[in-house]
Amino acid sequence: MTLPSSRPVPGSDDRGRQLQWPFVGVVVLLIVLILLTPNLFSTSGGGLQTRAQLIVDRGSGVSRTSFYVESIGTSTRYDWIAIGVAAVPSWPFRGPASSLGPWNWTNTSQTLVLVVSNSTNPIAVNISVRYTSASGYLTDYVGLYAFYLNSTTQVLGAVTLLSTATAPPASTPLVDLPIYLALPIQTSTGS
């Protein structure tokens, strides 16, 4: 009695290899997430939970623009938050940031959030935030932005005045507010 030859079916080996690639991709993604997660949520300074952001909001028919500075995380307490506002001489603003002022500052220490509302149009907003970890690691976040409300089109125009900051959306309809701007890290030092 002869046994049938066990020849492979054409293409069956290739199909098995193709079905393995999604599983390999999932495994690689899980490994990357396992390695990055401690860094994203690190509280030693500069982690995602301690990252400061500026939230800009203004309702239709409201005469004031509100600026909120808080963490991307839910409960990061900062050493201090300071928000300065100043009138912008013209729009679009093309001068150096040093020509703005005088600044009207609002600040507080040992806080979760700071809110400033102002009716100046156009307006510049200068933000400084300091976070210190339990181990003494200092992180400073800064931002310098200018905003202009076009009352005819109900659009908020925005620019960053710092080269290190991510540019905000150039124009945002009021119905699409608020906008969220992550503040760049200016300094980060360990102790």
Q: How much is the pLDDT for 47?
A: 66
Which tokens hold the place of 88?
């912008």
Domain extent listing, the chain: 10-40, 48-189
pLDDT in tens, 36-59: 665 554 444 556 778 899 999 997
Q: How much is the pLDDT for 9?
A: 57
Q: How much is the pLDDT for 166?
A: 83
Cα-flanking dihedrals φ and ψ of residue 117, to 5°? -120, 140
State the CATH class of domain 48-189: mainly beta
* Of 92, 94, 96, 97, the residue nearest 144 (C-alpha): 97
pLDDT in tens, 81-106: 999 999 999 998 888 888 998 999 99
pLDDT in tens, 109-139: 999 999 999 999 999 999 999 998 888 889 9
- What span, in angstroms and rounded, lies between the C-alpha atoms of 165 and 107? 21
Mean pLDDT, residues 144-153: 94
How many C-beta neighbours within 10 Å does residue 18 have?
9
- The Cα angle at residue 165 between residues 161 and 168, in degrees rounded to 5: 75
To the question of pTM greater than 0.85 for the whole model, the response is no
Q: How much is the pLDDT for 159?
A: 93
